[in-house]
Amino acid sequence: MTEQVFMRPPREQWVCDFCSSPDVHWRYPARDFPIQSLKIPGPQHGSEGGWAACNVCHALIERGLRDKLAKRSAVKFSRKFGVPAKLIVNDLRKLHDEFWTNREGTATPVT
């Protein structure tokens, strides 16, 4: 069996895994999992390791404001890629549900 090695990108390349902000301050430990919510043809997509979060997304997560987090993510994605937020918000909710299911423990500050 071949060992997999995952390279952590340099700090200046980190982005919030929820809204893509480059201002990452938190890391949420999570189990690796296949992303069931994406309906993309081709190879199975998945999430490996913890999720990064900016301060705003961290605050929404800590307060359990899942709907606001999904809406924030959708708006940020929409602005970046030109996809209407209303078309992707439900998919992002499902993806975030998978994050919550596979989350392991509390957030830690990123240093």
CA gap 80, 12 in Å, rounded: 19
The CA dihedral of 93, 96, 97, 103, to the nearest 10 degrees, is: -170
pLDDT for the residue 108: 94
The pLDDT averaged over each successive group of 10 residues in the chain (111 residues) is 49 84 93 66 64 96 97 94 90 90 92 78
45, 38 contact by CB (below 8 A): yes
pTM of the model: 0.81
